[in-house]
Amino acid sequence: MKNNDLYGTITLTGMEFHAFHGCLEQEKREGGTFLVDLEGRLPLGRASRTDDLADTVDYGAVYAAVAEEMAVPSDLLEHVCGRILRRVAADFPAFRALRVTVSKQHPPVGGPCAWSRVTLSQGYDE
């Protein structure tokens, strides 16, 4: 096996945002706490040899793309999650597979609920 054949996973877990996603007027007005988890599979053999940021993806740039998408209000977590997945896939084509989870703290479901979550993936066998 050559180092160029090495694949790996980059994960950014617990990216926290105050955002304004939801169907209810109160959610749109006051916002709430959201977490985003992102996992991406990509070739990492070259980066494992060179120690050069140019041979992988810049975590800060990925975070910035996620933050920009989180700043755009949506009614549905499914919509937010899909936008993030499509944006990261477009901006960082080195990813061969992506999985994104968006979690909303204390969703208004009529009773106690710590989090609601939506996960979308592309390129993973599920």
Pick the catalytic residue: 45, 104, 113, 125? 104
HEC letters along 14-77 = EEEEEECCCCCHHHHHHCEEEEEEEEEEEECHHHHHHCCHHHCCCHHHHHHHHHHHHCCCCCCH
Told to judge if 28 belongs to the known catalytic residues of this protein, a careful annotator would answer no
The CA distance from 61 to 64, in Å, is 5
Using an 8 Å Cβ cutoff, are 103 and 35 in contact?
yes
Q: Which two tokens stand for residue 114?
A: 């710590």
Residue type, 19: A
The CA distance from 120 to 84, in Å, is 10
User: What residues are annotated to the active site?
Assistant: 104
